[in-house]
Amino acid sequence: MSILLLMVRTRTFDPATALTHAVELFASKGYSETSMEDIVKATGVSRYGLYGTFGNKRELFEQALDRYADSMGKQAFLRLLEPEASLDHIRKIF
């Protein structure tokens, strides 16, 4: 009887940091002009790591959009908590 040992690779990068880099890249080049090779270079993560974590380019883009939206929503909310937040200030945000 033979024993099969599986080697499991552990993730050696922070997905949140990779998404931040992807957001910046998509924002500067757009979806169509951003290649997976561009993302590999910007994040320092291998194709294998990107595909294994995020799926394909479209799925990575969707997760990057979610991260951006979460970030912007939190920033807008935090601005509402500032002492100088008036009704006019709130209208400018929304």
pLDDT(76) > 80: no
Domain extent, residue 24, equals 15-93
In-domain check, residue 2: no
- What pLDDT digit, counting tens, does each position of 13-33 carry? 999 999 999 999 999 999 999
Task: Find how far residue 14's CA is from the centre of its chain.
Answer: 11
Looking at residue 91, its amino acid is R
Task: Write down the pLDDT at residue 90.
Answer: 62
Q: Using alpha carbons, list the distances in angstroms from residue 66 to 11, 59, 63, 80, 86.
A: 22, 11, 5, 21, 29
In-domain check, residue 49: yes
In-domain check, residue 63: yes
In-domain check, residue 65: yes
CATH number, domain with residue 38? 1.10.10.60
Domain count of the fold of the chain: 1
pTM of the model: 0.68
**DSSP state, 16?**
H
- What pLDDT digit, counting tens, does each position of 34-73 carry? 999 999 999 999 999 999 999 999 999 999 989 888 887 7
Q: Helices 36-43 & 57-80, crossing angle to 10 degrees?
A: 50
Task: Write down the pLDDT at residue 44.
Answer: 95
